[in-house]
Amino acid sequence: MDIAQTTAPEIAPTGQATALLLTGRLLRPQSLTLDALRAFPSVTCAPFDLRCYTTQRFIRSVEPYRGVRLTDLIEHAGLRCEVHGEFKRMIFLAIGHDGYAVPFTWHELFNTSVGAQAIVVYECGGKPLTEADGAPVLFSGADLVPAPRHVKRLARIDVRAMTI
């Protein structure tokens, strides 16, 4: 996977560094600053305890997160289908600056209750998250194990169509 292009700091016309790229099978690929993320409708999630899946280690208690739904960002960019009905085979790879990545499927996001709580987070406990805190964070609030999908310093959402 080549993520080199997402690690280079990009400066938007406002002078603010790009927080998040939306790339791949989209009609309108996006390059969004934190302010641009804040301009979308926001949702909050309940506080939770973050654990590591591998070690089961307790990491920290997290105050309510606020952010924008991943589905809102995807709808804003528009899915680009090359074959009729192809959107149902699409996956969304959420990639951090360090290459750590988690996937979502179209069905999961748009056809189950996971989508309502899959958010790109920019605020925690009412306070803005800084880059040092890991902003923006991709968080999946409906995940069942106490180690939810949680990507710090989210850099890119890459949209791919699965082929058979």
Ligand X SMILES: Nc1nc2c(c(=O)[nH]1)N[C@H]1C(S)=C(S)[C@@H](COP(=O)(O)O)O[C@H]1N2
**Closer by beta carbon to ligand X, 19 or else 161:** 19
Q: Is residue 25 a contact partner of residue 80, using CB atoms and an 8 Å limit?
A: yes
**Shortest spacing between CB 53 and Mo ion, in angstroms:** 5
**Closer by beta carbon to ligand X, 10 or else 53:** 53
**Shortest spacing between CB 55 and Mo ion, in angstroms:** 7
**Closer by beta carbon to ligand X, 69 or else 150:** 150
Q: Is residue 45 a contact partner of residue 64, using CB atoms and an 8 Å limit?
A: yes
CA nearest 67: which of 21, 122, 14? 122
The torsion defined by the Cα of 133, 136, 138 and 142, in degrees rounded to 10, comes to 80
**Which residues lie across from 144 on neighbouring strands?**
none
Q: Which does 100 bind (CB under 5 to 8 A by kind): Mo ion, ligand X, none?
A: ligand X
Q: Which does 152 bind (CB under 5 to 8 A by kind): Mo ion, ligand X, none?
A: ligand X
Contact between 46 and Mo ion by CB under 5 A: the answer reads no
Q: Is residue 87 a contact partner of residue 79, using CB atoms and an 8 Å limit?
A: yes
**Shortest spacing between CB 141 and Mo ion, in angstroms:** 17
Contact between 59 and Mo ion by CB under 5 A: the answer reads no
Q: Contact with Mo ion (CB under 5 A): which of 17, 39, 52, 162? A: 52
Residue nearest Mo ion, Cβ-based? 52
Structure-token match 């993320």, residue found: 37
Q: Site residues (CB under 6 A) for ligand X?
A: 52, 59, 96, 98, 100, 150-153
State the DSSP H helix or E strand holding residue 59, giving kind and residue range, or none if neither.
strand 58-62
Structure-token match 């590591």, residue found: 52
* Distance between CA atoms of residues 74 and 149, nearest Å: 18
Residue nearest ligand X, Cβ-based? 96
In the complex, which residues of this chain contact Mo ion (CB under 5 A)?
52, 54
